[in-house]
Amino acid sequence: MDELFTVGHSNHDIERFLDLLEANGITAICDVRSSPYSRHNPQFNRELLQASLKKRNIAYVFLGKELGPRSDDPGCYVDGKVQYSRLAASENFRSGMERLKAGMKRYRIAMMCAEKDPIGCHRMILICRALRGEPVAIHHILESGSIEDLRSSEQRLLIELKLPQLRLFENPEDLIQRAYDTQSERIAFVREDEPQGSEITQKREPWTN
């Protein structure tokens, strides 16, 4: 079975962040931020991060265009808000998922976004949800350095959303899916302006050290 780790860079010192990766044997970072830059934590700006990773022999690939929480496709929005279900069904997202799954065959990957807690981040609510039916063991590297498997994260999400009760004719899996839907609505990106239909030109980026 393949393995996938996820991690939020949060406000970690870069050395602390790299130590977290090394402690879990990570050999590649898959950056799924829509914009690979941080105003408050510039150590995680793409070029600086890539240079820091290289010193530890950790490969890097940016898949924020394919797997990020925003989209240039106006068809992925309703009333200015991204719809994760539409993102997940898009050709662009499916292409990114295939690249991620192919990368798992060669590397021990940590999928990285900014948010420290996976239950509040699209890396779990969008991407990990799309992988639930795949033979992939998913582990979240938490801010403390501890590891939480996806099932445990889902149970925390149910508690966070106060959804421990099943509806009539609902089974436990239905409840989990309802939690994902509810959280998607809570955290989805909202555009301040009306979506503009722009052409997306994709550049295939290699996994690089």
Task: Indicate if the pLDDT at residue 194 is higher than 60.
Answer: no
- pLDDT at res. 198: 36
- Domains of the chain, by residue range, sit at 2-187
Per-residue pLDDT, averaged over 112-116, amounts to 96
- pLDDT at res. 102: 96
Q: How far apart are CA 92 and CA 73, in angstroms?
A: 10
Of residues 171 and 147, more confidently modeled = 147
- pLDDT at res. 172: 85
pTM for this predicted structure:
0.88
Fold (CATH) for 2-187: Protein-Tyrosine Phosphatase; Chain A (3.90.190)
Q: What is the pLDDT of residues 41-79, one digit of tens each?
A: 999 999 999 999 999 999 999 999 999 999 999 999 999
Q: How far apart are CA 37 and CA 42, in angstroms?
A: 7
Q: Which residues contact 126 (CB under 8 A, 6 or more apart)?
A: 67, 69, 84, 87, 88, 184
Task: Indicate if the pLDDT at residue 207 is higher than 90.
Answer: no
Per DSSP, helices labelled H in the chain are 14-23, 46-55, 64-67, 84-89, 91-104, 122, 129-130, 150-160, 172-187
Q: How far apart are CA 32 and CA 30, in angstroms?
A: 6
**Token output for 86:** 């539409």
C-alpha neighbours within 13 Å on the C-beta side of residue 86: 14
Q: Counting beta carbons within 10 angstroms of the beta carbon of residue 17, is it exposed (0 to 12), middle (13 to 18) or buried (19 or more)?
A: buried
Q: How far apart are CA 83 and CA 77, in angstroms?
A: 6
Give me the chain's average pLDDT, please.
Answer: 91
Q: What is the pLDDT of residues 123-167, one digit of tens each?
A: 999 999 999 999 999 999 999 999 999 999 999 999 999 987 777
- pLDDT at res. 202: 42
Give the pLDDT band of residue 170 (cuts 50, 70, 90).
confident
Task: Indicate if the pLDDT at residue 200 is higher than 50.
Answer: no
